[in-house]
């Protein structure tokens, strides 16, 4: 289903930046944000996608990670931004 949405210039710019950063389309950024906001996607699925660079499933069960996973995640994000 196609959906047309009007965005203010600042929000559109942020969507474009995020799409470039993640290497995906603007549509995928918007779809991802909507799925997370509507509770159709878990944060752990997003984490695994970043780590594994593979598509993630909607409504995937939550998984426990080690206590220092936040630091590992931050390090991955820092490394990605430095590229």
**Cα–Cα distance measured from residue 43 to residue 36, given in angstroms and rounded to the nearest whole number:** 8
Q: How far from each other are the two terminal CA atoms of the chain, in whole angstroms?
A: 35
Structure tokens at 6: 């009007």
- Long-range contacts from 62-67, C-beta under 8 angstroms, 24+ separation: none
pTM of the model: 0.51
pLDDT tens per residue across all 83 residues of the chain: 888 999 999 999 999 999 998 888 999 999 989 988 888 877 777 677 667 765 545 555 555 555 566 777 788 888 877 76
């Amino acid at each position: 289903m196609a959906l047309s949405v009007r965005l203010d210039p600042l929000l559109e710019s942020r969507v474009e930046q995020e799409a470039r950063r993640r290497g995906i389309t603007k549509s995928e950024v918007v779809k991802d944000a909507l799925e997370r906001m509507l509770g159709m996607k878990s944060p752990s699925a997003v984490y695994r996608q970043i780590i594994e660079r593979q598509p993630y499933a909607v409504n995937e069960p939550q998984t426990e990670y080690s206590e220092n996973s936040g630091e590992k995640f931050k390090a991955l994000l820092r490394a990605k931004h430095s590229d």
